[in-house]
Structure 1
């Protein structure tokens, strides 16, 4: 069955979703894998697995356009090349399962990217053989995912609160007359706590009970944070929800106040919660108290951007005018209710002339850095993916974890 593919490369995990061209408009998750790319001395690479015998790179999407490359053993490779290799691998995995190539691929990226960084990624994707691709800002992808299920009238606005393991952002998007979305405002969090920081705060609470010799793993804290009920047991210690909320309240208030400033005078129809960090009930409760509109989230908010990217890829192929408006004004649940969970751009094709040069930089007096010679082409051409794991292994292990 003909399909399109959406890929969301997060700092910690990469998610792929497919959308059928002759089926329902909803996208479905096809793959979730940690955003690790490892080079071995044999010249092969693996994705999503860590082996001490190899050289591992992670977090490369956020460094696309950075002049300083990653060092993988004897090789140096820019962040955009590593990102393109990961996307190429993801496409190959999905093709192996679907039995055919996708009709189109959409890749999400941070909303703050300008023409230079988008151009760098486009060029790297073309270098590894990925040509039919559209880049979609993350908040626009989230809005497209929402618009599949809820009617969004032209000129109305949506706010997007994104909280992942290592990134926070607040955005406002507007529905255009052509039934796409445009970015109105966007703020990237810099000094804000994110999902990984909340894991650390929970770990600190547990170690405070265990004493100076107490040990608790970050993975255990992450799993407990996502599963919080009235209380949770971590490392043999019971922590109540109220205790945890009291510990993280200043950080949550900081996130919410930044979001409110980003929204400004705009009155959005709804706030969409995106990213695995939004699984914490206190996020939805605090936002509901701060804004005068619905606050909506999916059961797995870390998958919203990938699914929205797939919907955006479908729109590229069939056109927005061919898609009927949803009958329901909303099928989503307000976060104040018991069943929190569900809540996406002008989608343009790349113009090479737009990406001719990087933006000007202010003059800085620094000593030149002697970098080792680049051998990126050798990496891209010589690396061969190692064996694949089964779909059930990947899905069961990573599906429910923070995705960004």
Structure 2
């Protein structure tokens, strides 16, 4: 059956969502895979499987536009080339499962990216054979996901609070008369704690009771954090032999949460949003929704798996590119307290930026820096694209309810 695909390449995990073209306008998660590329000694690439140091690349999706390449064994390639290879693999993996290629693909990116970074990603995607692609800002994808489930009237404003494992952002979008969305304001967090930092704070809490030499793994701390994120207070979680209660953990991360909320409120400015949308796996922590609800005079809405909201919204945006806007659906509001399955984000369909234009190929001006020139070997993205074999299917690529901090 014909479908379109949305791909959200996060720092920790990459999520793909599919949306059918011959049925309802809802999107479903099709694949979740760690954002890891490994170059093997045989010259092939695998996806989602960490390998030896120096042969594995992680965290490259947010480095697009960086002039410094990444080294993988004897190869060097840019962040946009690695991201394009990962997107190409995801498209191929979903196509194998569904038996056909998607009609169109939407790939998300941070709202703060300018024409240069978007153009770099477009060029890299074309180099690996991905041509029918639209780039969608992440907050617009989150809003599109919301609009699919709840009616959003023209002029309505939505705020997007996005918190993943390594990134935080706050955005405000507005519904236009043409049932599209436009970005009004956006702030990228720099010195803010994110999901990975919450793991570190939990580790510090445990070591504070056991001593600095306590042996506690990062995996154990992340699992304990997920257990402590559940809405209803439960039994204390045992970490490294120490019982940690939910109140203890909330008290430990409270200053970090207050900092995040304060930055979010500054991003809002005078805007009075109709709702706040939660996106990113770290938003599973109920303390996030509670702090936002106490600070804004509107609903705070988040899905049971907020780390998938952006990918599903991207798939809905791709559907709009292919089919155009449909008649306004009847509202299907399933909100319960902080969690909801709403979806509303009419991606502004129109002329897609052309990467061949000068503004897409010329990097933004930078202050002069006296740095000795470094001669780099020629890029080999075409050969590497051929070497990207389906060996990555051995990785954990299925969606699971306990996946967190997907961004």
Match runs of 1:176-255 below 5 Å: 176-228=176-228, 229-230=233-234, 231-255=236-260
CA distance in 2, matches of 1:139, 1:108: 9
1:292 aligns with 2:303: no
1:387 aligns with 2:362: no
CA distance in 1, matches of 2:401, 2:40: 24
* Structure 2 residues without counterparts, runs of 5 or longer: none
User: In structure 2, the residue corresponding to 1:215 is in which secondary structure?
Assistant: coil
User: In structure 1, the residue corresponding to 2:357 is in which secondary structure?
Assistant: helix
The answer to whether the 8 A contact 1:140-1:183 is kept is yes
Question: Where does residue 70 of structure 1 map in the other structure?
Answer: 70
1:402 aligns with 2:398: no
Question: Where does residue 46 of structure 1 map in the other structure?
Answer: 46
Deviates more, 1:192-201 or 1:64-73: 64-73
Question: Where does residue 348 of structure 2 map in the other structure?
Answer: 346
* Structure 1 residues without counterparts, runs of 5 or longer: none
CA distance in 2, matches of 1:372, 1:388: 28
Question: Where does residue 369 of structure 1 map in the other structure?
Answer: 373
Question: Where does residue 334 of structure 1 map in the other structure?
Answer: 337
CA distance in 1, matches of 2:256, 2:16: 30
Question: Where does residue 166 of structure 1 map in the other structure?
Answer: 166
Offset, 1:360: 3.7
Give deviations 1:91-149, integer Å, cap 9, x for gaps: 00000000011010000000000111000000000000000000000000000000000
Give deviations 1:196-252, integer Å, cap 9, x for gaps: 000100111112222233111112111211221443222221111111111111110
* Cα distance, 1:127–1:154 mapped onto 2, change above 3 Å: same
CA distance in 2, matches of 1:120, 1:90: 19
CA distance in 2, matches of 1:179, 1:138: 18
* Cα distance, 1:310–1:205 mapped onto 2, change above 3 Å: same
Give deviations 1:370-391, integer Å, cap 9, x for gaps: 1331232354344131435379
The answer to whether the 8 A contact 1:110-1:138 is kept is yes
Question: Where does residue 317 of structure 2 map in the other structure?
Answer: 312
Question: Where does residue 100 of structure 1 map in the other structure?
Answer: 100
* Cα distance, 1:354–1:140 mapped onto 2, change above 3 Å: farther
CA distance in 2, matches of 1:399, 1:103: 30
TM-score (structure 1 length as normaliser) = 0.94
CA distance in 1, matches of 2:163, 2:293: 16
CA distance in 2, matches of 1:403, 1:215: 26
The answer to whether the 8 A contact 1:159-1:272 is kept is yes
* Cα distance, 1:302–1:372 mapped onto 2, change above 3 Å: same
Give deviations 1:256-293, integer Å, cap 9, x for gaps: 00000101111111000000010001000000000000
CA distance in 2, matches of 1:354, 1:6: 27
Question: Where does residue 122 of structure 1 map in the other structure?
Answer: 122
The answer to whether the 8 A contact 1:300-1:341 is kept is no
Alpha-carbon RMSD: 1.8
The answer to whether the 8 A contact 2:176-2:182 is kept is yes
* Cα distance, 1:399–1:3 mapped onto 2, change above 3 Å: farther
Deviates more, 1:282-291 or 1:235-244: 235-244
Offset, 1:356: 4.3
CA distance in 1, matches of 2:110, 2:364: 20
User: In structure 2, the residue corresponding to 1:290 is in which secondary structure?
Assistant: coil
The answer to whether the 8 A contact 2:77-2:381 is kept is no
